[in-house]
Amino acid sequence: MMDVKRIVSRIEKNYITSNLRKEERIDGRGLWEYRKFEVKSDIIASAEGSADVTLGDTRIITGLKYEVGEPFPDLPNEGVCTIMAELLPLASPLFERGPPDEQSIELARVVDRGIRHADCVQTKKLCIKEKEAVYILFVDMYVLNHNGNLIDAGAVSALTTLLSAHIPEGIIGDNGLEWTGKYLKGKDIVNELPLALTYGKIDDIIFLDPMLPEELVCDGRMSISVTKDKITSIQKSGTATFSIDEIKMLGKKSIEIGQQLRKQLNLSQYQSSNK
């Protein structure tokens, strides 16, 4: 039997590619334009920080929870921040129930790497008492709707969640862990604001923020995480190859677009003030 999926994919790829060669997208954007970002914070009352982020029709809700535990032996005065992702079946027919698959692992790791390598979370601020007690933060991303480019939406959602953090402040007293009634806030623990910028590549055409139809027919993708003036991580997926000149070009463009996006999003406005 003929594989209909392959035929449809080839037709769709030809249509998308012919438009990209004219520097047009199927949704009307240019090659280097983002879809519209919408950001809300503190939307989960039971979490210590949360965000609801949409990028076009892609939507990710993220929550922050914490535990108090012992630090790693080689990092006795530093807490831990870990990022996880779950692709809910309601978000797309492409997702299935079960243990994390490659896509959810990639989403969590790429977002985590961009944040970790940017010195974003000040882990020493998460220390309650050296060698005894630290905060362990869990940033959990839940994909509610998938229309492409989960990484960039996830990065903004994770950052907004951390900025909105309000974690009860603890100290080690004579009777063990005691709560002061104060809070450790996002402005206390977040230093840098790394953004992830993801590019698709079809044949020799590179473009920003692939939506799902483009993503499904891409030869490959590259995600570059940047602060205001430096690259913190690069991740490639798929079979596409990127030349050294293309990587240099994308690195420079990521810094430029990242500065514009950072100004547009103004993420510092989501720092917690209600605790």
Q: What span, in angstroms and rounded, lies between the C-alpha atoms of 179 and 219?
A: 52
Confidence of residue 8 (pLDDT cuts 50, 70, 90): low
The one-letter code for the residue type at 254 is: S
Give the domain ranges of the chain. 20-270
* Side chain identity at residue 61, one-letter code: I
pLDDT at 265 over 80: yes
What secondary structure does DSSP assign to 9-42, as a single string?
A: HHHHHHHHHHHHHTT--TTS--TT-PPPEEEEE-
Question: Is it the case that residue 98 has pLDDT exceeding 80?
Answer: no
Q: How far is CA 17 from CA 9, 201, 262, in A?
A: 12, 10, 30
User: What average pLDDT does the chain have?
Assistant: 92
CATH of domain 20-270: 3.30.230.70
pLDDT band for position 6 (cuts 50, 70, 90): low
Residue 207: half-sphere exposure toward Cβ, Cα within 13 Å? 28
**Backbone torsions φ then ψ of 22, nearest 5 degrees:** -95, 10
Average pLDDT of the segment spanning 7-28: 84
In this structure, the strands spanning 58-69 and 133-145 are: antiparallel
d(CA 212, CA 206): 15
pLDDT(31) > 80: yes
57 and 46 Cβ atoms separated by less than 8 Å: no
Cα angle 88, 189, 66 (rounded to 5 degrees) comes to 45
**84 DSSP 8-state letter:** E
- List all residues 6 or more positions away from 177 whose beta carbon is below 8 Å from its beta carbon: 68, 128, 133, 170, 171
The conformation of residue 206, written as its DSSP 8-state character, comes to E
Determine the pLDDT at residue 93: 83
Is 141 in a helix, a strand, or coil? strand
